[in-house]
Amino acid sequence: MLAGPIYRVELVSVSRRTRYYVMRVIYALILFFILWMSYSTMTSFGRVTGQPISIRQASHMATGFFISFSWVQLLGILLVAPAMAVGTIATERERRTIEYLFVSDLSNLEIVLGKTLARLTLIGKFLLVALPILFLFRMLGGIPADLLAGSFLIGGSTVLLVTAISVAVSVWSPKSRDAMIRVYLLMAVLFLLPLILLVFTQGALRNVAGSPWLNFVQDSLEAVISLNPIYVLGEAMGNRFAAGATFDFSPLLEMAGWHLAISLTCITLATWAVRRVHLGASSKGEKSDQSDGLSLFQTISRGWRPALGDRPMIWKEAFAGTAKTRFGWLGLITGTLIVLTIFGLTVYAFVESLGYQRSYSSKRDYFGFMAGLVGAVGSLLLISLSSRAAGSITQEKESDCWLSLLATPLTGSEILAGKVLGSFYAMRWGIVPLAFAWLLAAFLNPGYFAAAIPFMLTAIACASFAAMLGLYFSLRSKTTLQASASTIATLIVVGGGYMLCCCGVIGVTGGQGGEQLMTIALAPCMPYLLGFPSSFGLWWNEVGTGGDQFFRFVISYMLGTIGYGIASFVLWRSIVEQFERIAGRTHGRPKVGAHDGADLTIGRR
């Protein structure tokens, strides 16, 4: 075979996994749902006007659906493709099976290229699910050829870029979970951070416009953004309908050319390093925590380490470092850029609120920024928390510590509680930016200290749910990568991703029924729940006036917080029961010395 024997083995073994069938089914259902929303919107408009749908309106409906499809396809690529491709090399290293590939007659190029092509084929099968659905629109006059070609050009180049980057990161990652977190951090820096910084430099720094350094920064950001498929797709769609002409394919072709060049560079580096990196790491032995990319934070945290005490599992998870994620230098650089951006935007928003007279409107701008910041950063921390919890059980199995853990006299509740609290403790540094923003808000309005109480209750409820969800999948999964991917996907959908579908249903419903549906739909949305207490300053003038909108938001907030608290308790009970059943242990701790030796026989009645 032209692609080599690795391609055939990977394609057969990976494509048989159930989760990839489930992902394709979910993707098809989302597309059918968007199709239903487009049709419902058009028919409701026809009922209001009392006229049948014309051929032109049906054609516009087909075009509108395809634009929605293009965005869903691109977001699906950015969310799903890294998880599919990032375990190519890291999983082999984690299982210690990569040595079997090295002692064979296969070259580095055959190993890397075979695995990369297999993942590209798997992602292509995921995207081809939409092809039969698109054929339905031939009955409505079809889809414009320029839209079709432009959308699939952007999607194809993005798949190639994301897959190549994931494979390259996988070569330098000792564990699959570390590789996945590094890839998503890198994608956030490449695709989201430049957009935020460009808007900031164009709006916030308009007073120093024309300075050489600002022009250099803006030109650099624009060069990076020109490779961003999200920005290119938005510009292409906007220009297509603003001018009423065809696609301007020049930025698309330029982006695709750069994507191809970067992808070939990543594959070349991965081919050159796949054998050197693993053999070099094996010859040096296991890395110590001091050599990790986050050694500074670990050194600070190790400055205080309590005694073992009566809670050994909590001590192990918090201080032994067995389940820590090794971000590496790539994760350290990207994480530092994200943190500096958060602090910089927070300080700028605070200074801007002090630049005017301390009026209600000037403070209101900072409070609005505060709500968005807490919702976004808090959601990212919850995803990190759930990912860490998802690897807490599977890593015990992968490192052959599972049986040793079960041989201890610790009960299932003590083991699981230690892992939950250890996951909470691992997120301590992520709270610093939020605490900094809260202190600045309290300086503007001391009443913010009162709003901190409901925020803490909501944060505990949402964090408990995220940790329980991670433990649930960690108990049921065979690998850390599978557990982390399942946990993150479920948390994103349950914690707010469902709003992409609910907004369409609410828009079709409209009226008072739409407002009631919005009240219910907002309740599980984690960014909204985390940001609502932080928006205290936006609502203080409406509290005394009895604004209906404010009280609807309060009801949604209370329902969501209480709901996540109840869901966390139910998941906890289920996880403890499953742990005891999977481990084959009896409930409770054996009482040594309380009775004679016959009573110490485990599992007999």
The whole-chain average pLDDT of the chain stands at 77
Model pLDDT, residue 516: 64
Note the pLDDT of residue 316.
77
Residue 271 to residue 251: CA distance in whole angstroms: 30
Q: Which residue has the higher pLDDT, 61 or 268?
A: 268
Q: In this predicted structure, what is the pLDDT of residue 262? A: 94
- Find the largest Cα–Cα distance for the chain: 89
Q: Are residues 248 and 236 in contact, defined by beta-carbon separation less than 8 angstroms?
A: yes
Give the whole-angstrom CA distance, residue 58 versus residue 61.
5
Closest by CA to 4, choosing from 79, 135, 163, 110, is 110
- Among 10-19, 49-58, 115-124, 418-427, where is mean pLDDT lowest? 49-58
Stretch 358-372: mean pLDDT: 69
CB 187 within 8 A of CB 99: no
Helix and strand counts by DSSP (H, E) for the chain: 27, 0
Report whether 225 contacts 194 (CB < 8 A): yes
Q: For residue 371, give Cα distances in angstroms to 451, 499, 527, 529, 532.
A: 12, 18, 9, 10, 7
Structure tokens that stand for 455 in this block = 């925020």
Rounded Cα gap, residues 445 and 454, in angstroms: 17
pLDDT at 163: 93
Q: How far is it, in rounded angstroms, from Cα 576 to Cα 417?
A: 10
- Token match 């699906």: residue? 76
pLDDT band (50, 70, 90) for residue 603: very low
Q: What is the pLDDT of residue 470?
A: 92
Q: Are 146 and 239 in contact (CB under 8 A)?
A: no
- Predicted pLDDT of residue 297: 45
Q: Which two tokens stand for residue 552?
A: 């609807």
Other Cβ atoms less than 10 A from the Cβ of 139: the count is 9
Q: How confident is the model at residue 160 (pLDDT cuts 50, 70, 90)?
A: very high
Please, is 105 exposed, middle or buried when counting C-beta atoms within 10 Å of its C-beta (0-12, 13-18, 19+)?
exposed
What secondary structure does DSSP assign to 370-398, as a single string? Answer: HHHHHHHHHHHHHHHHHHHHHHHHHHHHH
How high is the pLDDT of residue 197?
80
Angle separating helix axes 145-171 and 55-85, nearest 10 degrees = 10
393, 355, 550: which is closest to 482 by C-alpha?
Answer: 393
* 3-state helix/strand/coil string of 478-492: CCHHHHHHHHHHHHH
* Predicted pLDDT of residue 265: 94
* Amino acid at site 337: L
The yes-or-no verdict on residue 295 having pLDDT over 50 is: no
What is the end-to-end Cα distance of the chain in Å, rounded? 60
Q: Identify the residue with better confidence: 201 or 255.
A: 255
Give the pLDDT of residue 466.
93
Q: What percent of the chain has pLDDT over 90?
A: 12
What is the amino acid identity at position 258? W
Q: Rounding to the nearest 10 degrees, give the CA dihedral for residues 445, 451, 456, 458.
A: -130
Helix or strand run (H / E) with residue 464: helix 448-476
Q: Sign of torsion, CA 40 41 44 45?
A: negative
Tens digit of each residue's pLDDT (9 = 90 or more) over 533-580: 877 656 555 444 445 667 777 888 899 999 999 999 999 999 998 888
The model's confidence at residue 444, banded by pLDDT at 50, 70 and 90, is: confident
Q: 463 or 441, which is more confident? A: 463
Dist. CA 192–CA 199, nearest whole Å: 11
pLDDT at position 462 over 90: yes
pLDDT at 140: 64
φ/ψ of 99, rounded to 5, equals: -65, -30
Burial zone of 182 (CB within 10 Å; 0-12 exposed, 13-18 middle, 19+ buried):
buried
| Sequence-separated (6 or more) residues with CB below 8 Å from residue 177 | 325, 387, 390, 391, 480, 481, 484
pTM for this predicted structure: 0.80
